[in-house]
Structure 1
């Protein structure tokens, strides 16, 4: 079953952000756009490249009113240690959720059965807490923050412009489509 169009489920988790431990809940997420960025584990290989890419683009996400939550089944203590020892992870200013219980990972249905690790799952959540985008990639396929930015811009655009849709490769400022009987068979 697809999670698109469903509300995020309740959770409470410990997190690390900018030198502090904090508690994050589903209620904290609502009210603005959010990206949940699941990855298998701290101190690994592809994960730090993805998280560094997000960190390098975090200001752009923030200007768009988007908060980022990276999530793995590691603890918030592990996130702090990784942040303190890795130059790539040390760039991160967004919230790093620790999910050793697997509640958040299971809520988003990206827990690897029998492994206790998250798949590479990306979820865009609107201000009402409804999932608007889901992307899951295999272990060795890293994600691209610029492509994620493009998809978030498209999701925000269609949310603000009911009746319009964004075609393939749409970039902000480009023409959109207004689906109608007149377009059937003409694209």
Structure 2
């Protein structure tokens, strides 16, 4: 699975967002950072905790110029029903893409063979449509939206500050590293 630094593949899907059904394509996500947040299924257990966590930080992601696209192999109709019945999911104002035809799950290589559900995959795509960050976790392990936000900040910093890299646990405003021969073996 070598997807870092590759262009996202073409797709067309229908999403539930802000009380409406809207069509979304690969062309629509270019021009800003796009976070594709795959999860196994609506009406499950770990998934609503992750999606609510993202909803709580959605404004911070938007302030960084990022849009969130939650994706499962359910339909957009299922997303609406879940949004209307779950207090956690009812908080969501970002896109919830239906991927019942498995195009997105296959494009991002997170479809579990023979199961029809996506793994928990997180992909950060830059404004040019290039995948820059990937995280895959098993079904029973939820993700942390605050850590994803930290990684997005680090990615944006790294992309706009040539010659600098962000070390482990880097937080916005902290010291970065400037890789050089002088640093080899000294860290």
Q: Which runs of 5+ in 2 are unaligned?
A: none
Q: Which runs of 5+ in 1 are unaligned?
A: none
* 1:158 paired residue number: 158
Paired with 2:180 and 2:129, the residues of 1 have a C-alpha distance of 29
* 1:48 paired residue number: 48
The aligned length equals 187
Paired with 1:30 and 1:102, the residues of 2 have a C-alpha distance of 21
Paired with 1:162 and 1:4, the residues of 2 have a C-alpha distance of 18
Deviation string, structure 1 residues 32-82 (Cα, Å, up to 9, x no partner):
011100000000000000000000000110111110000000000000000
Paired with 1:126 and 1:184, the residues of 2 have a C-alpha distance of 30
Paired with 2:33 and 2:139, the residues of 1 have a C-alpha distance of 26
Paired with 1:47 and 1:62, the residues of 2 have a C-alpha distance of 21
Paired with 2:22 and 2:58, the residues of 1 have a C-alpha distance of 19
- TM-score norm. by structure 2 comes to 0.99
Paired with 2:62 and 2:93, the residues of 1 have a C-alpha distance of 11
* 1:133 paired residue number: 133
Shift of 1:94: 0.1
Measured on the aligned residues, the alpha-carbon RMSD in Å equals 0.5
* 2:143 paired residue number: 143
Paired with 1:99 and 1:169, the residues of 2 have a C-alpha distance of 34
SS in 2 for 1:101: coil
- TM-score norm. by structure 1 comes to 0.99
Paired with 2:159 and 2:97, the residues of 1 have a C-alpha distance of 27
* 1:174 paired residue number: 174
SS in 2 for 1:156: helix
* 1:118 paired residue number: 118
Deviation string, structure 1 residues 99-156 (Cα, Å, up to 9, x no partner):
0000011000000001110000000110001111000001110001000000000000
